[in-house]
Chains A and B, each alone.
Chain A
Amino acid sequence: MITVLIYILVLSVALCIYRMGRGPTPPDRAVALDILGTLMVGFCALLAILTEKDFYINIAISWALLSYVGTIALGKFLENRGFDE
């Protein structure tokens, strides 16, 4: 059952990567990167249930922290630059 849920999450990640490659403006790609970081946290939690190992949830916590810092940095970077269509 957990395997089916992991396949559904892989489909979500594929949609996210499609938007990251396709996105017309750079903020689209930044949004997709942010969403991908949050999806990976859930992915690590599912892997922790599937394998019953503790350290996957440590990976989830550190991934959430690093994704937050990266999103804030990207937001500040996008603010100081103009993106003409």
Chain B
Amino acid sequence: MFWDTVGYIFIVVGVVFDLLGCVGLVRLPDVYNRLQAATKCVTLGTAFLLFGVFFIYGFSALGIKALLCALFVLISSPTGAHALARGSHKGGVKLWEGSVIDLYAEDSENK
């Protein structure tokens, strides 16, 4: 019963993180800003949701699979976001005009 409550709290926190990440995806002005907001919030939200499923079902087949899926999402989603940011920067997408610094372009010029 106690672990059910903990699991439901984790699931509610995860869903709220997902919603805030998608609001950031709509509201922010730039590819890189959107990528940062959405990837961080949605990765953490989905991992929280899957940890909540693990807390509810314990060490059954479903719980272990949810734990594995959470670990995989935590590893793979930032990697994919990094690949997308690198691809769009090399593909020539401009930064937002309010951006202050672009260290990646300076680093590429100095090589």
Seen from chain A, the residues whose Cβ lies within 8 Å of a Cβ on chain B are 1, 5, 8-9, 11-13, 15-16, 18-19, 25, 27-28, 30-32, 34-35, 38-39, 41-42, 45-46, 48-49, 54, 57-58, 60-61, 64-65, 67-68, 71-72, 74-85
Contacts and interface: CB of A to CB of B under 8 A. Distances in A.
Contact of A78 (B12, B43, B81, B88): B88
Contact of A15 (B23, B56, B80): B23
A61 B93 contact: no
A38 to B, nearest CB: 5
Chain A interface helix/strand/loop/mixed: helix
B53 A77 contact: no
Interface of B: 8, 11-12, 14-16, 18-19, 21-23, 25-26, 31, 34-35, 38-39, 42-43, 45-46, 49-50, 53, 56, 61-62, 65-66, 68-69, 72-73, 76-77, 79-81, 83-84, 86-88, 90-94
